[in-house]
Structure 1
Amino acid sequence: MSGLISAASIPELRKRVIFTLLMLLVYRMGVQIPTPGINGDALAAFFEKNASTLFGMFNMFSGGALENFSIFALGIMPYISASIIIQLLTVVVPQLESLSKEGEAGKRTITKYTRYGTVVLSVIQGFFIATGLESMTSPNGVPIVIDPSLQFRLMTVLTLTSGTAFIMWLGEQMTERGIGNGISMIIFAGIVARMPAAVGNTVELIKSGELSLIFLPIIVVMMFLVVGFIIFVETSQRRIPIQYAKRVVGRRVYGGQSSHLPLKINVSGVIPPIFASSIMMFPATIGSFIHIDWVQRFSAALSPGTVYYYTMYVGMIVFFCFFYTAVTFKPDDVAENLKKNGGFIPGIRPGKKTAEFLDHALVRLTVVGAVYLSAVCVMPTLLIQQLNVPFYFGGTALLIVVGVSIDTIAQIESHLVMRNYDGFMKSGRIRGRH
């Protein structure tokens, strides 16, 4: 807390925190603005009935925007899907791969392609959602769309696409001028905003007798255990010892120190669950709006709670763990930099052997990280579904909230250290800051 109080006295950091909070406030205000042409009561009744289905999870990631069918109903998921597609194409398309190696200019070009892809995906998703809503009714048979027509579809596509583009801009501004990763912060804010509603729903389930009061302490204890486990693993790391050779330059002696290379157990952070959830929601959401027999069966097979869903979900998490780690950490580059600076791992030859050692260590850590992410995202959700508790207490939501919080605190710490504020350094418990 002393570190947070010290942060308020740093003008630059204070501006960044205030800017982030204002952007999140703008986002939450937009969530409350409904898209024209929708019967709000009928839509609310529909989501109340389907809270434990795919719609409930999608609504969680959109921060309740889908339930209100606001201008931000699509949320940030089209941007995440576009980012996944562009990153996958970067591996297989030589032109994109060369762009990724061109530094800041290439990064700006790839970001531009990601924005274009976001708009295209938003238009596609918006059209399918508008078409599907026209044929949907509340449990009482009241139509959700007041006046189904081509004009409604076009207006909905334009509104939802514009809303997603605006959220994308908000996220980029928060990343550049605020604290933390803007896209992750938006997802974080959406999940946290739904927590009070989830608590209220749980209380109602207890009052109605659908959830036994005996299970409530079990749920609370399980949440604390999962949060503690997430914090422990996210702050854990393997420290590979690094020794620097002595060099004599003129009359001065450089090097000779011992250091370490920290490798996190979960190198990819919360990205794999977010990417996996986005991939799992995209086809199933489209399929749920198309009333064709085989499409409906396919959509039902990939709905939360089925064996196929969890199998594919775990497979996606494992894939993105390895993929994102391979994209962000280059053992060859690290080995080359160590060699140039006179550093080496004791007992390992510099150069190729060092790269092979780092790659081997990274693969083993990624396996452990993938198992950890899969267990945290799936096991609590499976247990909670047996108790009939809303999605918001699931492992995926807790992982994102805790992971984003840790990353944000780490960024605040880095600003404090740069300004010689040692509030966190004296009593903080976030490891790996040195």
Structure 2
Amino acid sequence: MNFINTLRDIFKIEELKEKILLTLGLIAVYRFMAAVPLPGIDPTQLAELKNNTDGGLLGLLNAFTGGAFARASVMALGIMPYISASIVVQLMGIAVPYLQKLQKDGESGRKKITQITRWLTILITLVQGPTYITFIKTQMGLPESAFLVGGATFWISSMILLTAGTIFAMWLGERITDKGVGNGISLLITVGIIANFPVAFLQEVVSKTEQGGGGIMMILIELIVWFVVILLTVLLVTAVRKIAVQYARRTAVTNIKDVDGARQYIPLKLNAAGVMPIIFAQAIMFLPVALGQKYPVLNSLTDINGLWYNVIFAILIIVFSYFYTAITIPTNKMAEDLKRSNGFVPGYKPGEETANYLDSVLSKITFPGSLFLAALSILPAIIVQFGVTQNWALFYGGTSLIIMVGVAIDTIQQINSYLLNSRYDGLMKTGNSNRKSLK
């Protein structure tokens, strides 16, 4: 009943309703474009490409693009080049003085960084595009008859369309962020992941209803485990360590009375790095796939369900959790800002001592957070050992689940803020009208 009332409240707010409808419309456009194949490829002969991207690391890439990777679509690269460019720019911001200056320049600096990210996205697409075309032509077992056009014509047209597809996806994401609800880039990735959900679940149902598969009872047990994992993921995403902050007593000029110092909190997230450690770790784990032909010893690291793959994967996630948290949570700057605003952490001197304390707390909570993140990331490989199909197991953890949970929480919070502001405005209007009637 509360859910129905919330929906009614949402559609009573004209601005919020328009934002939601715009978001849904742009997502629909993205999904439609993901089904459009590159010119010069026969879409009826892509079965081999889909089979070769079913599971494994290529299956992860296909999941992030909503199946566009296996369809040889104009959106085959999806929004991934933009994410890669964003990561590169963020990391360069640590060492490049020009980018550091832009980060401090407020809105104007942010716009310049966004522009740099866009140009870098195009450059990355121009590198990834030929790699993808070469890959589907030489490595995926497609028959020669699948390519209706050959030579330079196919290469040039495919490069132009793959680049245009990525730029269009980037534009859609930015429009959703500016004019719609939620983070547009994250929403596009989430929608792509969810697009694989019905097929993955249907495959699991068919597998379990076959003779010896366990039947409906096994499916119910898997769903219960899945919901428990989702709840644990929500806890990981939302868990924070609150650092109490006290502000100096001030004298209110209006009534010449002392006002007690306000007590607030600095929320330090248990998983401050989000999904970035997983993305970094997966990027490195793609190297064995690229080098496997030259160095056969690395072939054991291409199986995402293998022991050594997951051991190395988990270690990399823990390492990158510390690394990314260190570069994105500037405890020194937090301590200086606190000092300038006459605030302090009780029991610690403002400045360096406070910074050291914040850094110590952050290091301590990052350790269990990184362990939890690593365990969640390798959970799909463990689930597979119990007879779960590969595509369905991907929804039990890893980047897919964390992104979906994070985006869902962020979007719900934005909608709730609109609803709260609407109720507040309604109370203000009611109060004004009551005062007018009393006069």
- Measured against the shorter chain, the TM-score band is 0.7 to 0.9
CA apart distance, 1:41: 3.2
Which deviates further from its counterpart, 27-36 or 266-275? 266-275
Q: Where does residue 219 of structure 1 map in the other structure?
A: 222
Equivalence for 2:271: 266
- Corresponding residue for residue 46 of structure 2: 43
Q: What's the counterpart of residue 335 of structure 1?
A: 335
Structure 2 residue 385 is matched with structure 1 residue 417? no
Alignment match of 2:78 (pick from 66, 75, 79):
75
Equivalent residue letter for 2:382? L
- Name the residue aligned to 2:432: none
User: Equivalent residue for 1:294?
Assistant: 294
Alignment root-mean-square deviation, CA = 2.8
Give me the TM-score of the superposition, normalised by structure 1. Answer: 0.87
Shift of 1:187: 0.7
Residue of structure 1 equivalent to 2:69: 66
Q: Distance in 1 between matches of 2:112 and 2:308?
A: 37
Report the alpha carbon displacement of residue 319 of structure 1 after superposing the two structures with TM.
4.1
Q: Distance in 1 between matches of 2:116 and 2:135?
A: 29
Q: Which residue of 1 aligns with 2:436?
A: none
Match of 1:183 in 2: 185
Q: How does 1:179-328 map to 2 (within 5 A)?
A: 179-207=181-209, 211-213=213-215, 215-250=218-253, 251-278=256-283, 280-281=285-286, 283=287, 287=290, 293-294=293-294, 298=298, 301-328=301-328
- Equivalent-residue separation in structure 1 for 2:374 and 2:178 (angstroms): 31
Identify if the C-alpha distance between structure 1 residues 6 and 321 changes in structure 2 by more than 3 Å, giving closer, same or farther. farther
The residue that corresponds to 2:429 in the other structure is: none
Determine helix, strand or coil for the equivalent of 2:12.
coil
Counterpart-to-counterpart distance in 1, 2:413 and 2:74 = 33
**Distance (Å, rounded) in 2 between the aligned partners of 1:121 and 1:180:** 26
| Residue segments in structure 1 that go unaligned for 5+ positions in a row | 423-434
CA distance in 2, matches of 1:297, 1:241: 52
Asked whether the equivalents of residues 125 and 166 of structure 2 are also in contact (C-alpha less than 8 Å), the reply is yes
Task: Say which SS state the counterpart of residue 67 (structure 1) adopts.
Answer: coil
Once the two structures are TM-superposed, the CA of residue 272 in structure 1 deviates from its matched residue by: 3.3
- Higher mean alpha-carbon deviation, 129-138 vs 97-106, is at 129-138
- Secondary structure at 2:69's aligned position in 1? helix
**Greater alpha carbon shift after TM alignment, 366-375 vs 141-150:** 141-150
Worse overlay, 240-249 or 359-368: 240-249
Listed one character per residue, the Cα deviations across residues 159-204 of structure 1 (whole Å, up to 9, x for unaligned) are: 1111011101111111122221111111111111110111122233
Displacement of 1:144 in angstroms is 4.0
Distance 1:4 1:271 in 2: 33
Deviation, structure 1 residue 15: 2.3
Alignment of 1:105-184 (within 5 A): 105-136=108-139, 138=141, 144-184=146-186
Q: State how far apart, in whole Å, the 2-side matches of 1:328 and 1:415 are.
A: 28
CA distance in 2, matches of 1:328, 1:27: 31
Identity of aligned residues (%): 35
Residues 61, 188 of structure 1: alpha-carbon distance in 2 compared, 3 angstrom cutoff: same
Distance 1:59 1:256 in 2: 54
Q: Which residue of 2 aligns with 1:377?
A: 377
Compare 40-49 and 407-416 and name the one that shifted more.
40-49
**TM-superposition CA deviations, 1:213-244 (whole Å, max 9, x none):** 36434422221110011122322222222222
Going from structure 1 to structure 2, the CA distance change for 1:3 and 1:261 (only over 3 Å counts) comes to farther
Residue 313 to residue 16, structure 1, CA distance change in 2 (3 Å) = farther
Task: Give the match for residue 88 of structure 2.
Answer: 85
2:352 is matched by which residue type in structure 1? K
Q: What letter corresponds to residue 193 of structure 1 in structure 2?
A: A
The alpha-carbon distance between structure 1 residues 42 and 305, as it changes in their structure 2 partners (threshold 3 A), is farther
Give the Å deviation of 1:87: 1.5
Q: Which moved more, 1:29-38 or 1:245-254?
A: 245-254
The two structures have a TM-score, normalised by structure 2, of 0.86
Deviations 1:267-322 (A, max 9, x none): 233343345445545x467x28xxx8306765663442334533443344334433
Q: Greater Rg, structure 1 or structure 2?
A: 2
Whole-angstrom CA distance in 2 between matches of 1:332 and 1:224 = 39
Which structure is higher in RCO with an 8 Å CA cutoff and minimum separation 6?
A: 1
Offset from partner CA, 1:340-385 (integer Å, 9 cap, x none): 3332222122222111111111111222221111111112333225
